[in-house]
Amino acid sequence: MKNIKFIYAIVLLFCLGCEDYLDKSPDLGISEGDIFSDYNSIRGYLDNCYVALNNIHDWDHQPNLERQSINAMSDEMGAIFNYAAIKNQINTGNWLNGGFGEMSWTAGTAGTYNASVINNSFYCIRVANKVLAGVEQLPGLSTEQKNELLGQAYFMRAWYYFELIKRVGGMPKFDKAYLVDDDMDFPRLSYHESSEWLIADLTKAAELLPHTWPESETGRATKASALALKAMAALYDASPLMQNGLSTVQKLDYNLERCKVAARYANDVLKYLPASGARYRLMNGSEYAEIFRYTSVFVSDESLWYNNNTGPMGNRARGLRVLYLPQRFAGGTGNDAAAYSNPTQNIVEKFEVLKNGEAYPISDPRSGYDPQKPFENRDPRLKNNIVVPGEPWGLNANGAQIYQELYPGGTDYNNATTNGNTAGREVSGYMAKKFIWPEANNFQQEWSKYNLNTVYIRVSQVYLDFAEAMNEAYGPNADPEGYGLTAVGAINMIRNRVGMPNVLQEFTASKEIFRERIRNERAVELMFENHRWHDIRRWMIADELFADPTPIKGLVATPPANHRNVANKSNLKFSYSVKPLASEQRVFKMRHYWYPIDLKHVQMLRNLTQNPGW
Amino acid sequence: MTRDTISKVKFYALLLMFLPVVAFGQRKQPKAKAIRQTIISSRVTDENGAPLRNAMVSTQEGTVTTYSGEDGSFVLKALPGSVVMIQANGYEDKVIEVAEGGVLDSYALEKMPLFSSSRDVLYLPLGITTSKRSTVSSISSIDGADLETYPDLLLTNTLQGRATGLTVRHNTGELGNNAPALIIRGLSRGGSDGAITIVDGVERPMEELVPAEIDRVEILKDATAKVLYGSRAANGVILVTTKRGKANTRVTKVSAEYGTMMATRMPKFLGAYDYATLYNEARENDGLAPFYSETELNGYRNSAGANDQRYPNADFYGYFLKDAMPYRRASLQFLGGDNRTQYALVVGYTGASGLEKINTPTNDRFNLRGNLDLEVTPSLRAFAGLAGIIGMTTSADITSGAVFSRLSSHKPNGYPFIIDNEELRNLNAGVGVTSIPALGGSLQHPDNLYGRLMYGGSQHGQNLAGQGTFGLDLKLGNIIPGLAAKSYLTFDNYQSFSRGQSETPVSYGQRWFLNDAGEEQVTYYKLQKRVIQSDQVRKGHSISRTLGWVGEVKYHNQVGVHELTGDVTYFYYRNESSGQLQDVENSNLALRLAYGLQNKYYLEGTAAYMGSNRLASKNRHFLSWAAGAAWVLSEEAFLQGSSAVNFLKLKANIGILGYDRATDYYLFQNRWYTNGTMPFNERNQTSFPRTSIELIGNPDLDWEKSREFSVGVEGLAFQNRLQFEFNFFDELRYDIIMRQGAQYTGIHGGLVPFTNYGETSNRGLEGSISWQQSVGEVHVKMGGNFIYSKNKVLKTDEVAYPEEYMRQTGRGSDALFGYVANGLFRDQAQVESHAFQTFGAYGIGDIKYADLNSDGLVDSRDRKQIGNSFPRTTLGMEVTLQYKGFGLYLLGTSELGVDKMLNNSYYWNFGEGKYSTTAFDRWHPQNNPGGTAPRLTTTNGANNHIGSSFWLDDASFWRLKNVELSYTLNTATSFAKGYRFFVRGTNLLVLSSIRDLDPEVLNGGVANYPVMRGLTGGVSLSF
């Protein structure tokens, strides 16, 4: 009977109803089991920690710092770009409310270069924890593979934890890959306790990591990276700011015992480097510029821990244009071209003057410093780091020489003052040179002539770390532990290799006097490398440096009246004067020594107490 | 069901589409000459034998019609074996087969309770029907013919104001691409609140249908109606039923309409002289020297126009846009059938061309639909529906959106369109390549709009849609009385393809300088190279196909005063679309039981077992349920026979529905992916692949649910003149799936799983009321509908900031947050004494904001709710007047209690942007001390251009949406039986406190097409 067939058909329809047709399409997704079953894929997961490394030459390296770097938060640089968060929020002291860049816990997409450092720190600590747990459960790994994975994971956990605590102070130990419903409301540890934890990680990492990687894997953290970071972290732990507890911020002294530890760790690095069999060395003076930019290979011999990833810089031109080049050199009229960093007179004044084989600070009358010939006989690193008014810099489209014209009436000066993106900001008169080359301009377009990466720790920093720790622990000239090098000796190594004489004898008279010279040396040597901001915080001198309402100074190089008709601008006879840059604000009170804990986290985690003053 | 099966099914469907559907319809056409007609004569009475006058008696598919006289008698010529139909209001239709032996002396029509005849059928999803009388839910419906009064390219645009509970919110968009948002009963989720549209039993897009195809549009709002459609329906359903043939009723109708569409409100921008003067003022405000010299200002004042080489002054809107654009529409309907076979064939054409003068876009669409119902055996009926849409568009290589954004951003003095220099003209013109004039441009806008439209290439789009439905309807009364079964299969295919040519004309910037002789001279620098694409290339394509499958067993029986209905339905829906890795798959198994007692009490309950492929297998199904009751009070003794109240019904229903439409796939499992590479190696050349976790899954993820309750009253009063319905609804959407990103810490690395967290309540009142009356020969019907709704976010992902006013929780999901502006700073003392504002540099003439938390800083923690973006109330008002053959129809629509931010480039004049006429209102101490807008600046004016109450305005409006004036002429003698002439108008008037731009579509004319005022006329003929 025909009708019965239809009934069957309909019944069949219902029967099909609840079976497996709602299953997923086979095209989708890899499972967690797949990842943690194989050396390559687990390493592929760990490598997210490398991708997330901060790149100081990327134009937007911390989202919404907007064409500036944290150098412009210290006294090294000014922020000429009107729309920079640094200018509008950070340097006005308004750190609590912004979701931007340096202070933000959330800005950007975590796990990419394009996220704030703190956001990435939490992400990468989790990645490292997940790998640490996963490696233990993974059968079939060779000891070597296991050591590589564990060594890098411990190193990365320590690195990102250090990035975190140096900004916000002591944190709980994050030793597990937390999920959202885990209890994360732990009490904060003191800075020292936190630091001890990361140093323990680095001790493990140093044991597990190789001296060198095969060529194809150059760029991964090595034993030298772990040892150098350990020394750096120990010096931070010994520094004045880090001696503060969680409830107050006050001016304190170095912790002498921790200085001794830091000195020991730094000595370990210096002893290890020549013995490592790797390329590490303090490069000589004639190679000084090549420490920062390299031809052919991607890393200089002085780099101990660095970011091998150029990916984020994408078009390298953009980072160079935005961070270092005024409009004419950068090309175009938009934001990218208008923004550039503006090295300050403050930092230029730290370069000593050479006179009769000795070097003096410019304030010293013996230096014979002539404010009308400010660039004569200065520390050679000034010429390496700064383009001064009228200095030849690159060729234009017709192949003719062009000059830096950041002086009143000059082309670059006029561009900056009339462009809407920079109007109202005062230029310092200087242009940063340390990382760039003259052909990297809009006319010659040789943006890729050199390689450029972010170096976090290089050999000369280890000497500086050593000197600072030794001086505080034992004084300028003592070596009770038999390291074979004193604080003064270490500083002189750094100076001598660029042709600077030893520090004046009289400056090594006491720990306190020599401390100022160490700090000056550090400012000069590590200029623009994103160190000074954290240094003036840990030394607790930022509030004094920025006590004046207009603490940042620039140089006004007034050219002669007919300067437009002079083809060779380097022949111009400028008259120089120093002036405070009223547009450069630096609001810095005691509470600003620690970054505020993100509001949301303070509200959610009762034990994660807010830093004092926020 | 595999993809292969779907492809096969699709193949057969396409094959079938070419079968001439019409042939079935014409098969039964009698050849009048060959067969002898008989004259039949009889009488129509009611159940008691009393004569019924004015009953309509027709035969031959309605082509022969007469009416019964005073004594109920009628005389009609009919063919032996043909069918005669008798219809009268309040009575069930009567169908008579004319036997050889003639007809009976009289026919008694069965009196039906109000709202329960075959004309009062309401369609529910999946082919389930109910009647207006017995339904326990509130369903508003629109007659398809009513939608014809509003000429538009898209069907959805015609719905505004016509149905209770439906809010239609217009957007700006390109020609034919401006589909509105359709929201039923307010914002029930607080995000992604749109309703779904169902066309003939399955979820399908409706915007490209034409009104001629539509029988009825119903708005399903209550749980008892929506639950049948499963897990995608909780936001409400717009159910479209296309026309099917009716036995013994033939409709042949041809209609043509032509008219013009004119822009209503367009933004007005300044000419070159005014712009340059004010730009200098902005520079002065920024402490900069004037940019334009006096000579230049004078030059602009005396400019020769857009192509003045030195001092261009272009009126972009006037230069590039026409005042009006044509609109065309035509349709052919051919419906009818006998008791065995019914057919419907509708062909429609809709076309328009755009406002752009150069490379005017066009949009043409053909719609074809055939529906066929066929009796195979007395107990088996088959039905089929096939529809095709062919759409064609042409335009310049850039979208209209891009054209309008350029109109509203390119400055009047930016560049001359054409550079008057023959030498440049011939540059770059190779052999066989059109020589084009040199075009102007500027560093800011190197791409000249004139060149882009004229020489930039073109785009051609094609859209093809095919929809097919095939089904069987089986009466199983011989097994169990009242039992029937039904099954149908639907498959749709949507394809779009575009091709075009993108070219770039060369453009030059000009640099004017003084030469040694002190004369002005110009040099040119190239901004854009000429790019020629010799062939058309594919620009884009997409494909989407849908399979639906419905099975149903139904039971309906009336035993004495008991009426019992039962339905078991099962449906499966699957959609696959290009670019989407996972197909949408849903199923729903529903059992519906309805019981009626004495035509007075009705109970209905449905249990639905919903399935979704978006949840983990343990939670893949959800048992939804809904129940309702209705009580026809007017049947009770105390109201029966009341002269005032003709019909009164109370109804209530409640239910809990699952909802999965807003949920993404596989949120329940950890998801990893390969995530690019990390380079190592000394030369940075070896790439190591990386893996990353994308999502931490939540295996316990469960369904989002909607708990809904509504209660209503409806009735007829005063001799059926007053019709009213009011409903109160209270909905709670809970377990909304969201990511609690803000509420979890970042310590776990930002990997936040999705959870069933959100909660939104929504309640409101809706209603409609209408009055109809005949006064002499004038017939008047006037009425209106309204909905008032207000929702409240009960739980959402946000940080519990101490400042209560910052929180979304406890406020409407449409709350507009912003700063509270207190006018402008008028002097330096005000600036200094005020709390520090952290958005950017500010001073005199800039906006002053309230420091709500009194912490001495105005920052992101000083934002509060300053308005709301969804209208609290929407209204529709309709008036119909008929006098003899003349008809007048008026539709007014309104949104009340809604705010908008006036923040587009018309209102915000700053930086290097174009200045609109609102720039005249800026404040300046000397030039315009009475100004109300902030001072001008060439920076981004960060302090002023943020969301604040300064820019907020009440966007409530009342609009005369639609007017139709018509004249209908019926004659029996001429070649057509009926003529209807009409004139239609749309968007004729709008009242609002926003006067410069359209309050409903603020970006109209700025970012895309403006609201258009239509004026059309046409004729429709019935045969």
pLDDT digits (tens, 9 = 90+) for B222-246: 999 999 888 999 999 999 999 999 8
For the domain that residue A50 is a member of, what is the CATH number? 1.25.40.890
Contact B613 A179 (CB under 8 A): no
pLDDT tens readout for residues A232-281: 999 999 999 999 999 999 999 999 999 999 999 999 999 999 999 899 99
Span of A519-523, B273-277, B561-565 with lowest mean pLDDT:
B561-565
- Residue B613: is its pLDDT beyond 60? yes
Name which residue leads in pLDDT, A447 or B30. Answer: A447
pLDDT, tens digit, 9 for 90 and up, residues A488-542: 999 999 999 999 999 999 999 999 999 999 999 999 999 999 999 999 999 999 9
Q: B198 with B125: CB under 8 angstroms?
A: yes
CATH number of residue B79's parent domain = 2.60.40.1120
Q: Do B570 and B589 meet the contact criterion of CB atoms below 8 Å apart? A: yes
Choosing from A540, A569, A604, the residue where a domain stops is A540
CB B308 within 8 A of CB B296: no
Chain A residues 512-531 with a CB less than 8 Å from chain B: none
pLDDT at B975: 77
- Can you give the pLDDT at residue B235? 95
**What is d(CA B715, CA B725) in angstroms, rounded to the nearest whole number?**
6
- Are residues A458 and A329 part of one domain? no
Instruction: Identify whether residues A488 and A394 lie together within a single domain.
Output: no
Please check whether residue B597 lies inside any domain of the structure. Answer: no
| Predicted pLDDT of residue A15 | 43
Whether residue B54 is contained in a domain is answered as yes
- The distance of A181 to chain B (nearest Cα, Å) reads 9
A424 contact B CB<8A: yes
Return the minimum-mean-pLDDT range out of A135-149, B661-675, B725-739, B1005-1019: B661-675
Cβ of residue A183 closer than 8 Å to a chain B Cβ? no
Decide if A125 touches B, using CB distance below 8 A: yes
User: In this complex, which of B678, B690, B939 lies closest to A423 when CB atoms are compared?
Assistant: B939
DSSP-assigned states of every residue in B150-183: S--S-GGGG-TTTSTTEEEE----BTTB-PPEEE
Which pLDDT does position B12 carry in this prediction?
A: 45
Rounded average pLDDT over A556-581:
93
Residue B126's pLDDT band, with cuts at 50, 70 and 90, is confident
pLDDT of residue A211: 95
pLDDT (tens digit per residue) in A462-486? 999 999 999 999 999 999 999 999 9
Residues A188 and A253 in one domain: no
Average pLDDT over residues B327-355: 94
Tell me the backbone φ, ψ of residue A310, rounded to 5 degrees: -85, -10
Span A160-218, pLDDT tens digits: 999 999 999 999 999 988 877 777 788 999 999 999 999 999 999 999 999 999 989 99
Question: What pLDDT, on a 0 to 100 scale, did the predictor assign at position B10?
Answer: 47
Q: Is the pLDDT of residue B955 over 60?
A: yes
- pLDDT, one tens digit per residue, over B437-475 is 889 998 888 899 999 999 999 999 999 999 999 999 999
Q: Report chain B's mean pLDDT, rounded to a whole number.
A: 88
Q: Which pLDDT score, from 0 to 100, does residue B273 have?
A: 96
Chain B residues near residue A112 by CB distance under 8 angstroms: none
Residue A30 forms part of a structural domain:
no
Using DSSP's 3-state secondary structure scheme, residue B640 falls into coil
- ipTM > 0.90? no
Same domain, A126 and A160: yes
Is the model's pLDDT at B704 over the cut of 60?
yes
User: Residue A26's pLDDT is what?
Assistant: 47
Question: pLDDT of B166-224, one tens digit each?
Answer: 999 998 888 888 999 999 999 999 889 999 999 998 899 999 999 999 999 999 999 99
Residues A57 and A181 in one domain: yes
A416-425, B296-305, B571-580, B739-748: least confident range: B739-748
B41 occurs within a structural domain: yes
pLDDT above 80 (res B558): yes
Tell me the pLDDT tens digit for each residue of B567-608: 999 989 999 988 887 888 888 999 999 999 988 999 999 999
Q: What's the pLDDT tens digit per position in A351-364?
A: 999 999 999 999 99
On whether the CB atoms of residues B265 and B906 are closer than 8 A, the answer is no
Report B:550-579 residues touching A (Cβ under 8 A): 551-553, 568, 570, 572
User: For position B34, what pLDDT does the model report?
Assistant: 43
Q: What is the pLDDT of residue B746?
A: 75
* pLDDT for the residue numbered B25: 39
- The values of phi and psi at residue A320, to 5°, are -70, -45
Domain membership of residue B573 (yes or no) is no
Q: What is the pLDDT of residue A60?
A: 73
- Would you state the pLDDT for residue B100? 65
Are A284 and A369 within one domain? no
What is the mean predicted confidence (pLDDT) over A568-587? Answer: 94
Domain contains B341: no
Domain count, chain A: 3
Do A442 and A466 lie in one domain? The reply is: no
Q: Does A577 touch chain B (CB under 8 A)?
A: no
How high is the pLDDT of residue A34?
72
Question: Which token pair is A38?
Answer: 């194989």
Statement: residue A69 has pLDDT above 50: yes
- B238 closest CA partner among B153, B180, B325, B296: B180
Chain A and chain B share a number of CB contacts under 8 A equal to 255
Whole-number pLDDT of residue B22: 38
pLDDT band at B129 (very low <50, low <70, confident <90, very high): confident
- Is B75 part of any domain? yes
The band of B16, judged by pLDDT with boundaries at 50, 70 and 90, is: very low
User: Does A355 lie in the same domain as A304?
Assistant: no
Distance of CA B190 to the CA centre of its chain: 19
Q: Does B839 touch chain A (CB under 8 A)?
A: yes
Note whether A19 contacts B: Cβ–Cβ < 8 A.
Answer: no
SS3 track for B498-564 = EEEEECECCEEEEEEEECCCCCEEEEEEEEECCECCCCCEEEEEEEEEEEEEEEEEEEEEEECCEEE
- Residues A408 and A466 placed together within one structural domain of the fold: no
Classify residue B61: in a domain, yes or no: yes
Q: How high is the mean pLDDT of chain A?
A: 89
In chain B, the number of structural domains is 1
pTM: predicted TM-score of the whole model, two decimal places = 0.82
Whether residue A137 sits in one domain with residue A197: yes
Stretch (H or E) spanning A136: helix A117-136
pLDDT value, residue B947: 94
Cross-chain CB nearest to A418 (options B288, B485, B572): B288
Q: Write down the pLDDT at residue A311.
A: 58
Residues A107 and A180 in one domain: yes
Domain shared by A167 and A110, yes or no: yes
Query: Could you tell me if residue B706 is inside a domain?
Result: no
* For residues B134-139, average pLDDT: 90
Assign B658 a pLDDT band (cuts: 50, 70, 90).
very high
Residue ranges making up the domain that contains A610: 35-64+99-209+590-614
* pLDDT score at B23: 40
Residue B1008's nearest CA partner among B290, B133, B175, B65 is: B175
Distances (CA, A) of A203 to A157, A164, A224, B84: 12, 19, 11, 100
CATH code for the domain of A457: 1.25.40
Considering only CB atoms, which chain B residues are within 8 Å of A29?
666, 669, 671-673
Please give the Cα distance from B339 to B461 (Å, whole number): 43
A550 lies in some domain? no
The count of C-alpha atoms lying within 13 angstroms of the C-alpha of B344, restricted to the half-sphere facing its C-beta, is: 21
Q: Over range B719-745, report the average pLDDT.
A: 90
B58: containing domain: 36-108
Does residue A135 or residue A334 have the better pLDDT?
A135
Specify the amino acid at residue A484. G
